Chains A and B, each alone.
Chain A
Amino acid sequence: MGFPYEEASWSVVDGAMFMGWGSAMPGIYTAIAAGICVAVLIFGQITEMRKARQYN
C-alpha cells in the first residue's frame, strides 16, 4: 500500500499517518468492516435459530 507521503521520511509527516491515507482505501476498509458486521449478524441469526428449532 505504501507510505502516504511522497518522501519516505517521518520528518515530512505533520498529520494523518495511517495506511491508505489520501486514497480511497479508508472508505473501502470501513465499508468492508461494516459489511462483516452485518453478514455476521445474519449468519448468526440463521444458524442460532436452526439450532434452537431442534429443541421445539
Chain B
Amino acid sequence: MGDIVVEEQIAELAAQVAALQESSGGGAAKVTNTMFAETFYYLTIPLMIIIHAGFLAYEMGASRLKNVLSSGVKNILAFAFMIPTFYFFGWWVYWAFPTGLPGAPGPAGISGIDYANSIAWGWGESAAAMGPNIADQASGVFFGAFALFAATTASIMSGAVIERIQTVGFVILAIVLGSFAWVVAAAWGWHADGWLVTEWGVHDFGAAGLVHAVAGFFALGVLINLGPRIGKFNADGTANHIAGHNMPLTVTGLMLIIVGFWGFLMACVIVPGEAWSWFADKPSTIYGTPITLSALSFNILMAISGGIIGAWVMTRDPFWMMSGALAGIISTASGLDIYFPALTFIIAFSAGILLKPCADFLEKRGIDDAVGAVTVHGTIGLYGVIMLGVFASGFPALQGAAGEAPTISLMGQIVGAGVFFLLGFVPGYICSLILRIVGMLRIPEGAELVGMDRVKVPAEGYPEGIPAPAVVLDPAE
C-alpha cells in the first residue's frame, strides 16, 4: 500500500517536473519568437531608409548643377517632417478608417475610431502604445515600418517637382500625401477590415496601388499646377531634354532604391507566432493570406530582371533601365505572394516596354515630370493592380472559409485602381492649387533662372567645379 502511494507521489512529481520543463522551454521559445518578430520589423526600417538614400542620390543627380543641393534639402526635409506628422495623426488615420466614414469598427476587430483612439494617439491611455513599453514589443516597429512607407510616398513625389518648387510648399504637400492620402488608401485596401478588401476583394500585397500609384498621381496633380521648368518646352509645344548634372549618381540612386525595396516588401509580411499574428506556424500577408520570403525572393528578382530588359529594348538608356527595374517590381508588387516567377518576368518585361512611351505621352501634354515618377510609380502602379485581376481572379483575397472570404477579380482590381488614382490625384491637385493661389508653390522666375542653390542653400555642391572630361566623346572633335 505504502509503495503504491510513493509511486503515485513520484509520478505526480515527475508530471510536475515535466510541466515545469515544458513551460520553461515554451516560455523561452516564446521570448525568442517575440524578439525575432520585433527584430524582423526593426531591420526593415534601415533597409527602407536606403530607399531614401537612393531617392536623394537620384534627385540630386537629376538636378542641374545650380539646383543640386536644394533638391537634396527638399528630399531630406520631406523625410524629417513625415516621421513626426505620421506619429501625430497618420498612424491614427490608418486604424480609424478601414471601413470608411464614419470610422465604424470592422469584423476583424482592429479598426474604427474607438480602436484608433485606444492605440494611436500620443496622449492619455493610448500613449502607452506610442512609447517605450516593456509589455509591447510590436507597436513601435510597426509604426516605424509604416512611417517609412509614408516617407517613401513623399520621396516619390519629390523627384517629379525638382528645380522649381518652394521648400515649405513642398513640405506641406509631402505631409498631405504621406500622412493622409496614402494612409487612407492603406486603410481601405491594405487592412483586413478595409472596405476595398472585404467588399471588392482588392489585393495589393506590395502596395503597387496604395503607395506607388497614389504617390505618382498625387505628383501629377501637383505638376499640373506647378508647371514645367523654364526652358523645358518650346513655343510650339515641343519638349527639350533637361539633363541632370550627374547620370552615374542618378543610376546609383536608383539601384539603392532597389536595395531598399527588399526592406519595403519584407515589411509587408506578418510574421507568425505572436498574439497579433494571423498564424501560429506560417507567415502571412497583411490580409491574412499565406506568403513566404521564398516567394518574394523568386518574384522580386525576376521582376527586376524583366523590367531592366524591357526598358533596355526600348531605350538603351541606363536611367530608364534602372527605372525599368523599379517598374518591374511595381508592376508585379500586388501579387508577389502568388505570381509564378516566369509570369512575373513577363509582366515586368511588359512594364519596362511601356515605361518610356507612357512618359513621352505625358511630356507631349505639357507635363514636366523631371524623373518620370508619374509613369514609373503612378501608371505602372495601376497597371500592376489591374494585371493581378487578369491573372489571379478566383484567389481568396482574405483568410476565411470558402464562400465567406471575398475573391480577387478583375472588376475588383479595376475599382481598387480607380480609388487609388483618385486618392492620389484629387488631394494633390486641390492642395497644390491652394498653394499656388496663396503664392507658396513655385519660386519666382528670377530665382529659378539663377538657380535654387544660390537662393536657398548656404553651401556649394561642387566648390571646386567639375573637371572637364579627359576623354573626347565626340568623334568629330
- Which residues from chain A sit less than 8 Å from chain B, CB to CB? 1-3, 7-13, 17-21, 25-26, 29-30, 32-33, 36-37, 40, 43-44, 55
| A51, B313: Cα distance in complex, Å | 14
- How many residue pairs, one in A and one in B, have C-beta atoms under 8 Å apart? 81
CB distance from A27 to the nearest CB of B (A): 9
Q: Is the CB of A19 within 8 A of B342?
A: no
CB distance from B270 to the nearest CB of A (A): 14
| A26, B290: Cα distance in complex, Å | 20
Contacting residue for B313 out of A10, A17, A21, A43, CB 8 A: A43
Q: Enumerate chain A residues within 8 angstroms of B403, measured Cβ to Cβ.
A: 8
Q: Enumerate chain B residues within 8 angstroms of A18, measured Cβ to Cβ.
A: 295, 338-340
Q: Is the CB of B394 within 8 A of A13?
A: no
Q: Is the CB of A37 within 8 A of B290?
A: no
Q: A8-B403, A9-B405, A17-B290 are in contact. Are A33 and B345 (CB under 8 A)?
A: yes
CB distance from A46 to the nearest CB of B (A): 12
Interface membership of B375, Cβ < 8 A: no
> Given A9-B400, A40-B312, 12 more contacts at CB 8 Å?
A1-B392, A11-B401, A18-B295, A19-B340, A29-B343, A29-B346, A30-B342, A32-B342, A33-B345, A36-B345, A36-B349, A37-B309
Q: Enumerate chain B residues within 8 angstroms of A30, measured Cβ to Cβ.
A: 342
Q: Enumerate chain A residues within 8 angstroms of B400, measured Cβ to Cβ.
A: 9-10
Interface membership of B391, Cβ < 8 A: yes
Q: Enumerate chain B residues within 8 angstroms of A36, measured Cβ to Cβ.
A: 306, 309, 345-346, 349
Q: Enumerate chain A residues within 8 angstroms of B473, measured Cβ to Cβ.
A: none
CB distance from A38 to the nearest CB of B (A): 11
Q: Is the CB of A9 within 8 A of B396?
A: yes
Q: Enumerate chain A residues within 8 angstroms of B289, measured Cβ to Cβ.
A: 10
Contacting residue for A9 out of B313, B346, B401, CB 8 A: B401
| A35, B203: Cα distance in complex, Å | 30
Q: Enumerate chain A residues within 8 angstroms of B335, measured Cβ to Cβ.
A: 19
Main secondary structure of the interface of B (DSSP, over half): mixed
Q: Enumerate chain B residues within 8 angstroms of A17, measured Cβ to Cβ.
A: 290, 338
Q: Enumerate chain A residues within 8 angstroms of B345, measured Cβ to Cβ.
A: 29, 33, 36
Q: Enumerate chain A residues within 8 angstroms of B309, measured Cβ to Cβ.
A: 36-37, 40
A-B contact pairs, 13 of them (CB 8 A): A3-B396, A8-B394, A8-B396, A8-B402, A10-B405, A13-B290, A18-B340, A19-B392, A25-B340, A33-B302, A36-B346, A37-B309, A40-B312
| A55, B339: Cα distance in complex, Å | 45
Interface size on B, residues (CB 8 A): 31
Q: Is the CB of B312 within 8 A of A8?
A: no
Q: Is the CB of B342 within 8 A of A29?
A: yes
Q: Enumerate chain B residues within 8 angstroms of A21, measured Cβ to Cβ.
A: 340
Q: Is the CB of B402 within 8 A of A7?
A: yes
| A8, B343: Cα distance in complex, Å | 22
| A43, B312: Cα distance in complex, Å | 11
Q: A2-B393, A8-B407, A9-B400 are in contact. Are A33 and B342 (CB under 8 A)?
A: yes
| A12, B343: Cα distance in complex, Å | 24
| A11, B400: Cα distance in complex, Å | 8
Q: Enumerate chain B residues within 8 angstroms of A11, measured Cβ to Cβ.
A: 401-402
Q: Is the CB of A19 within 8 A of B391?
A: yes
Interface membership of B88, Cβ < 8 A: no
| Chain B positions 394 through 423: 1 when the CB is less than 8 Å from some CB of chain A, otherwise 0 | 111001111101010000000000000000
Q: Enumerate chain B residues within 8 angstroms of A33, measured Cβ to Cβ.
A: 302, 306, 342, 345-346, 349
Q: Enumerate chain A residues within 8 angstroms of B339, measured Cβ to Cβ.
A: 18-19
For the complex of A and B, 5 pairs with smallest distance between CB atoms = A29-B342, A9-B402, A2-B394, A33-B342, A30-B342
Q: Which positions 196-254 of chain B face chain A at CB distance < 8 Å?
A: none
Interface membership of B458, Cβ < 8 A: no
| A34, B290: Cα distance in complex, Å | 29
The chain B residue with its CB closest to the CB of A48 is B316
Q: Is the CB of B405 within 8 A of A26?
A: no
Q: Enumerate chain A residues within 8 angstroms of B109, measured Cβ to Cβ.
A: none
Q: Enumerate chain A residues within 8 angstroms of B102, measured Cβ to Cβ.
A: none
Q: Is the CB of A40 within 8 A of B313?
A: yes
Q: Enumerate chain A residues within 8 angstroms of B302, measured Cβ to Cβ.
A: 33
| A6, B318: Cα distance in complex, Å | 46
| A37, B402: Cα distance in complex, Å | 40
Interface membership of B475, Cβ < 8 A: yes
Q: Which positions 80-111 of chain B face chain A at CB distance < 8 Å?
A: none
Q: Enumerate chain B residues within 8 angstroms of A20, measured Cβ to Cβ.
A: 340, 343
The chain B residue with its CB closest to the CB of A7 is B402
CB distance from B204 to the nearest CB of A (A): 16
CB distance from B411 to the nearest CB of A (A): 15
| Chain B positions 322 through 351: 1 when the CB is less than 8 Å from some CB of chain A, otherwise 0 | 000000000000010011101101100100
Q: Enumerate chain A residues within 8 angstroms of B340, measured Cβ to Cβ.
A: 18-21, 25-26, 29
Q: Enumerate chain B residues within 8 angstroms of A12, measured Cβ to Cβ.
A: 402
Q: A18-B339, A55-B475 are in contact. Are A3 and B395 (CB under 8 A)?
A: yes
